A and B are shown apart, each in its own frame.
Chain A
Amino acid sequence: MRAYKPKDDVQKKAYYTDRFYVSPQVPKFSVEDDEVFAHDLEAIKAKVEVLDAYIQVGQMVVFIKPEDNYKVLELLRDRCEYTQLSEMSAIDWLAKSGGFEIFYQMLSMNKRKRLRIKMFINKGEAVNSVEKLFRSADWSEREMFDMFGIEANGHPFMKRILMPYDWQGHPLLKTYPLQGDEFAAWYEVDKIYGKEARDIIGPELRDTAKVDRYDSERFARLGHEVPKGTKITGNEPKNEQNYQEEGGVFMIKKFDKKDSVVIDDPQR
């Protein structure tokens, strides 16, 4: 029987997990433990609804509703001294709960604190752009759109950034295979030579461990090179590996090991 492979998550899976294995958790602490974070959380709570908040690995994580993201980030920037948006992106939870988790990683240089704002959106929903608050979100949101297909409302230039404009699919979705789909596999051939060249150029060789010594189309066997396309029998004569013809060439003497000096000290 063929093994069942879920279609909604085609990434690599652990091939064996013990039945009784329970993975440990990274400890979460209450926000009250840290005075600065507690104060910031109060400020956020006063303005919008906070779904959850805790401290993990020294950073506060705050869950908010997706429609509040602009308000919260504005509040953090103007009132709470979180002057930098270091990073933002999404996590694909489509298989588990049908949506994306979006995080904003904030940094306050005066307080020396980092916090993470998180929110959950459903599939097909867009987020409010925070590009007006932090210019760095300009490119981050474009990258998020490129990689996940999440659009940002109010963004001035919502186009792909890393992949070409005519690319199909969003690579970081869990449904997108690592080695690309049919479109990705033939992208460069179709673009440069056209579809009819597919047969001539041939499919991509994706097996990294493949070594075929009887194939003279791609690589030659070192020291046993033959012209391209020759049938290889296995008893090819050995070619001497030499970068220059014996006896030197026109106007150039051949390098002679006996007449040369070897310098051992690299720091000379």
Chain B
Amino acid sequence: MAQHKINYTQNGGLPVALTSIDKIVNWGRSNSIWALTYGLACCGIEMMASGASRYDFDRFGTIFRASPRQADVMIVAGTLTKKHAEFIKRLYDQMTEPKWVISMGSCANTGGMFNTYATVQGVDRIIPVDLYLPGCAPRPETLQYGVMLLQKKIRANHASRAQKAKRLM
């Protein structure tokens, strides 16, 4: 076994940082936002692209998880149809608190160009949304910026208090 000797008086002093609970919890939450893969349509492809080589989401601590129980944020990427609506509600309910929702792209925001009988006119009719990203489809840069804004939003929370109930019912 390797022996580790730590000299507390050298190299920057004690390996201890003083902070408040709020800060440390928020730091942890905001820097490991695991996203639920919710690629529904075209935006899902851009979401994949932002997870892939060029845009590399992992450096934000954002890793795509396939299970709602391991995810913190649901990125609704694409058109939500009426047939699918109940499933998004189910998966949202299955996510553990605290949870956030990013609505990515025009279709998820408002129904977008699909002003038809089969499309839900905005995912916020089903689940509460924290962040709306415009674009059809939004570029990966937009999603990255959105995630950074979400990090900022998380940091503004008081970690010790329960999350305020969001809209909808």
A188 to B125, Cβ gap below 8 A?
A: yes
Residue in B19, B26, B82, B152 whose CB lies within 8 Å of A187: B82
Q: A180-B117, A243-B145 are in contact. Are A200 and B169 (CB under 8 A)?
A: yes
B115 to A171, Cβ gap below 8 A?
A: no
B152 to A179, Cβ gap below 8 A?
A: no
* B contact residues, total (Cβ < 8 Å): 34
CB-defined contacts of A249 to chain B, threshold 8 Å:
27, 155
A188 to B117, Cβ gap below 8 A?
A: no
CB-defined contacts of A244 to chain B, threshold 8 Å:
148, 151-152
A171 to B118, Cβ gap below 8 A?
A: yes
Task: Spot the interface stretch: A41-49, A84-92, A128-136, A189-197.
Answer: A189-197
Interface string of A176-217 (1 = CB under 8 A from B): 111111001001110111000100110011101000000000
Interface membership of A21, Cβ < 8 A: no
Interface membership of B24, Cβ < 8 A: yes
B122 to A191, Cβ gap below 8 A?
A: no
Question: How many angstroms between the C-alpha atoms of A126 and B31 in the bound complex?
Answer: 60
From residue B47, how far is it (CB to closest CB) to chain A in Å? 19
Interface membership of B160, Cβ < 8 A: no
Interface membership of A256, Cβ < 8 A: no
Question: How many angstroms between the C-alpha atoms of A180 and B17 in the bound complex?
Answer: 59
B85 to A243, Cβ gap below 8 A?
A: no
Q: Which single residue of chain A is at the shortest CB-CB distance from B167?
A: A228
CB-defined contacts of A201 to chain B, threshold 8 Å:
125, 168-169
CB-defined contacts of B120 to chain A, threshold 8 Å:
188
Interface of A is mostly: loop
Interface membership of B69, Cβ < 8 A: no
Interface string of B138-157 (1 = CB under 8 A from A): 00000001001101100100
Most A Cβ at <10 Å: residue of B27, B89, B125, B155: B125
Q: A180-B117, A205-B121 are in contact. Are A243 and B167 (CB under 8 A)?
A: no
Q: Which single residue of chain B is at the shortest CB-CB distance from A188?
A: B85
Interface string of A247-261 (1 = CB under 8 A from B): 001111000000000
Most B Cβ at <10 Å: residue of A189, A249, A250: A250
CB-defined contacts of A36 to chain B, threshold 8 Å:
none
Interface membership of B110, Cβ < 8 A: yes
Could you write out 9 A-B pairs with CB less than 8 Å apart?
Answer: A178-B117, A180-B118, A192-B86, A200-B169, A206-B121, A218-B124, A242-B152, A243-B151, A250-B26
Residues of A within 8 A of B (CB): 163-164, 171, 176-181, 184, 187-189, 191-193, 197, 200-201, 204-206, 208, 218-219, 228, 242-245, 249-252
Residues of B within 8 A of A (CB): 17, 19, 23-24, 26-27, 31, 82-83, 85-86, 89, 110-111, 115-118, 120-122, 124-126, 132, 145, 148-149, 151-152, 155, 167-169
